[in-house]
Structure 1
């Protein structure tokens, strides 16, 4: 199987922040869920997933590199970097397969955006997997939990989610991508953030509710190219928030007004942070950049004070000539 140059890099995980986003699919193919697989296929995929999961947890780059699809071999540095970034989330854990999907795009005549509808045996629930610019072939998506001790010494539970994309190369399943996400942020899981979002929405705190929904989605959805009815319900609730964030949004810091072009959920430090993209005055001195960023963050929290109680901190991204540059991150208690 040969992967197109356009598709191959898209399989590579970019660590805790990056998912595999695809445009709207133009073709459909077949999906076989775990319960409906032939025993031989199920056992083969489970064995491959177990071996790769252990390699991720043990930070064993040799095993992962040896398992790469030939077409993504040149992307090894990106995969290794993603696995290293995910090390704190999976350290000391034990893998447990959660779901497996066998995807058949052999009927594709060329690389195309492809959507797979994966229904359970009863047909009562359908998971949708959307992959962009996918070449003809057979693939698998395997989701694993990493079980370990939760923060604070409580009973063991899910500490991370690891998702693999595999491609069939000859008679062997090879690694096309790996995605790692923590199962908790700030000691709370996705269900907690979902419940918190509902509470904030009822309390007429639309900004805090909106981003609590984003936090819930990040933790409950192992990758961005999979959707399910449960997550669709979350999206519907988020879309129903009245007076939800709208941009551009202006804040005043002293005698100066700053335009915020975007606010987004940011888990790059494995904390529930928010990132602010603001239009900078163009200062380039590092000290002046930090002063400006601090002023913007302070003004933003004065305009939206409920965010202090709901999130860990803020990232400031300065926009200069359309290019966003991260300036700093501060916990909420350090922003005056």
Structure 2
């Protein structure tokens, strides 16, 4: 059931519960949030508590608004393997779908809260359960946080930019811009909509085959071969960086480690010069088993 299909009482109770929990999160009061959490989740609360402490400085002075409300009725649920809810948006052909595995029978709500007006605006997603112990109130059953911006831009900006790169056949740039857009536009992984499905289809159409997945990507540099295990993006330094992790052979001194990392950077840009247009710089992590990785970030204009 979507927000417009709820009664005023249903809508008000669900929104009020979410605002109260969000206020405690803004205050960094994990104990207060735990007190209004269903028992099975409260008994394993460390992860949520850590998330609250991490996001608290970002949202402490934010303007909190409730952006979306859904009621998810699973009281007649017979199987908990994969529960799907289909919420048709009034006046359109669009349907928002929730696919939640291992969900016990119950009456649930999903609330999307935006914390804005701060340097790092966030989207707070809450799964609430109604009356799990006869208290006739909404309690927290799940909590997820994702940013609303990356390097100062929202998900629609990255989606449009990804399409522009795709038109230019710059598939590496397009792919990583699609990947940056997705978590900014999808507050949780278990929610889908026609728009999000379209975004994911467009991304798959430009997916570079050589990217690391189950097997690493081999990058040739300076007569050596480096196993690239992961490539992602990061906007924490102000601009959008491409982050590359490779498996290093073993411990080396900092000077030699830096030289090797810079070699990897140069090789990546030699093979994919289009990256210079789309990214502020490169982060490279040289991962060694059992040791802290050596990491270096350089802006593009410092990678000759």
Q: TM-score per shorter chain, which class?
A: 0.7 to 0.9
* Counterpart in the other structure of 1:5: none
Pairing 1:252–2:252 present: no
Higher alpha-carbon deviation: 311-320 or 92-101: 311-320
The answer to whether the Cα contact below 8 Å between 1:279 and 1:318 also exists between their aligned partners in 2 is yes
Distance 1:63 1:115, change over 3 A: same
Structure 1 residue 50, shift from structure 2 partner = 0.9
Q: Where does the alignment leave 5 or more consecutive residues of structure 1 unmatched? A: 1-31, 152-158
Contact 1:210 1:245 in 2 (8 A): no
Does the 8 A contact of 1:142 with 1:163 survive in 2? yes
Which of residues 188, 205, 230 is equivalent to 2:170? Answer: 205
After superposition, the Cα gap between the structure-2 partners of 1:291 and 1:309, relative to the gap in structure 1 and judged at 3 Å, is: same
Q: SS state of the match for residue 75, structure 1?
A: coil
Higher strand share: 1
Which of these two proteins has the greater Rg computed from alpha carbons?
Answer: 2
Normalised to the residue count of structure 2, the TM-score between the two structures is 0.85
TM-score by length of 1: 0.78
Aligned match of 1:138: 107
Q: CA deviation at 1:45?
A: 0.4
Query: Residue 286 of structure 1: CA displacement?
Result: 7.0
Q: Judge conservation of contact 2:158–2:177 (CA < 8 Å) in 1.
A: yes
Give me the whole-angstrom Cα distance separating, in 1, the residues matched to 2:291 and 2:228: 12
The answer to whether the Cα contact below 8 Å between 2:58 and 2:118 also exists between their aligned partners in 1 is: no
* Matched positions, count: 296
Superposition CA RMSD, Å: 2.8
Q: What is the alpha-carbon distance in structure 2 between the residues aligned to residue 329 and residue 218 of structure 1?
A: 25
Residue in structure 1 matching 2:244, options 276, 298, 302: 276
SS in 2 for 1:192: helix
Q: State yes or no: 1:124 paired with 2:93.
A: yes
* CA apart distance, 1:298: 3.5
Partner of 1:223: 188
Distance 1:117 1:327, change over 3 A: farther
TM-superposed CA distance for 1:211, in Å, is: 0.3
Task: Return the structure number with greater relative CO, CA threshold 8 A, min gap 6.
Answer: 1
1:34-55 per-residue CA deviation (whole Å, 9 max, x = no partner) reads: 1112322211101101111222
For structure 2, which runs of at least 5 residues remain unmatched after alignment? none
Counterpart among 60, 63, 82 of residue 94 in structure 1: 63
